[in-house]
Structure 1
Amino acid sequence: MNHDDASAGHLLGAADIRRIAADAGVSPTKKFGQNFVIDPGTVRRIVREAGVTANDHVMEVGPGLGSLTLAILETGAAMTAVEIDPPLAERLPSTVAEFMPEAADRLKVVNRDALTVTPDNVPDFRDDDSFTLVANLPYNVATPILLTLLERFDNLGSFLVMVQKEVADRLAATPGSKIYGTPSVKLAWYGTAERAGVIGRNVFWPAPNVDSALVRFTRFKADDAASPAFGPDAPSRELVFRLIDAAFGQRRKTLHAALKTMVPAEAFEAAGIDPTRRGETLTITEFAALAKAVESTGKETA
């Protein structure tokens, strides 16, 4: 490539990806759930859907060989990429230096498992009122990564992630649907999630045997009355999540049966929730009401 391309923002195509991988001695591993995007149009679309601008501070998890990283940097945004695989973390800055040299000083790379990231060990976002996560997440750990980061970073205000289509459906599911489960309802504690389009298999190397989809999420503001955590008498998140885990741990059971050691009969009554319902029919607001009722009876036994 010549340097005129670089100044215009050269994104990675299939040949670039294979060459960088070969240079770095990297082959995609099942262990880390790696599938690298080889289509510039797809990463530009992700960044466009995420609404990233030059004023944003972005976290990327699992940058891999840098396809999405370059598309994020192309907007003028500053970013921190969290990469678990040491050879990939080491290689990323030189890829940016080669393809988009003027953006090199806006990229920071952290070599660690995203599940271990905290505001203490990655303080880059500490001074931000709000930051956004944009990522092509490894299929096997997408949900725990999202819930962990939302729990640890109060200022993670939004995300746009590419995940396995099934995972996307679950994250955005609503009560009563077959796929509504623990991830759907826990994510709803923090804000609102929606599907933002499907991504075909042919944009990846290696091509996965499943389709991918985009999920857009917006966190509730602190004073948002729609938030189950809003107000001075909001229940503890830990208790709400314990109730959710127990209710969905035995999906076919009624709430009365699934929560019998945790929720006394009068708490169901106080919350106005019929104990013969199943967990999969409850909204996050109802789970929060139930937790609040349990706290006010002072009788939680689990």
Structure 2
Amino acid sequence: MNKKRIVIISDMDGCLLDKTYDYRKSIDAIKYVLKNNILLILNSSKTRYEIEYYIKKWGLHDKTIFIVENGAAIFIPKKLVGKNSLIHNVLKKHRYILIDKYIIIVNGLKTSIIEQKIADIIEETKEKILWLKDFTPQKFSELTGLPIEQSILALKREYSYLFHPLVKGEIIDNIIEEIRVRGLNVSTGSGIIYLITGNHDKGLATKQIIEIIKEIFNKNIVTIGVGDGHNDISMLKTTDYSILLNCREDIIQELSNKNNIAITCRRGPSEWLNMVRRIVELIVKKQ
């Protein structure tokens, strides 16, 4: 029996990156992935421009697929697909566009459309909420700890809209509910920056890319999901094996019915590599 190609679908912040966002701390993890011929797919709330920054630093050009803004769009390098007619037949099932060097499957709404849908909410709450249009790179850096250079890239949203509450309590819950009533999703990793998107999530994008990857490798794959937050739950429920870098009880409870899951309280690239090694070794032994 042929060995299955291992595919890792991973969040970035808190997983491949720690709170310093220093790409150099992830080099060992990236080397491990490349050495073992593992296909790495990045699945993040980050923008295309942020993820491309790390792809360049990690030397992953045309070697990785990435998913942006909580599942809003999947970027597949054209060189990775080549002229494989089977892949193009699968892609026809999805709404995709060709831009630059990418085939892009679009699930999300454009940022401008999201802004139109909540324009009245923005106007009515400008004293209580810092909205995307009001952010400066300096303010975003102050709130998130991102360097200014990366904060500029983080604010170049294509399929999502950001906000930061200036007050606390029930009023914020009411605003979030009003946004959701309009058919939009609201999520947060830190409770500091909230992300508004269309009606999609990381799990939807994960299912789509697994279907496509199965065609590339003739269904001969095994998938590992790695995440650390609420917005990763739908992704972790979808993969064959899952790694949760967070032992928060509420997240664990959401994944209580998931088989083949490994949980650790530690986060960041070193723990990412430790846990991935464990699961990869387990998969290899079973093959």
TM range (shorter): 0.3 to 0.5
- Report which of the two has the higher share of strand: 2
Flag the structure with more relative contact order, 1 or 2, with Cα contacts below 8 A and sequence separation at least 6: 2
Q: TM-score, normalised by structure 1?
A: 0.33
Q: TM-score, normalised by structure 2?
A: 0.34
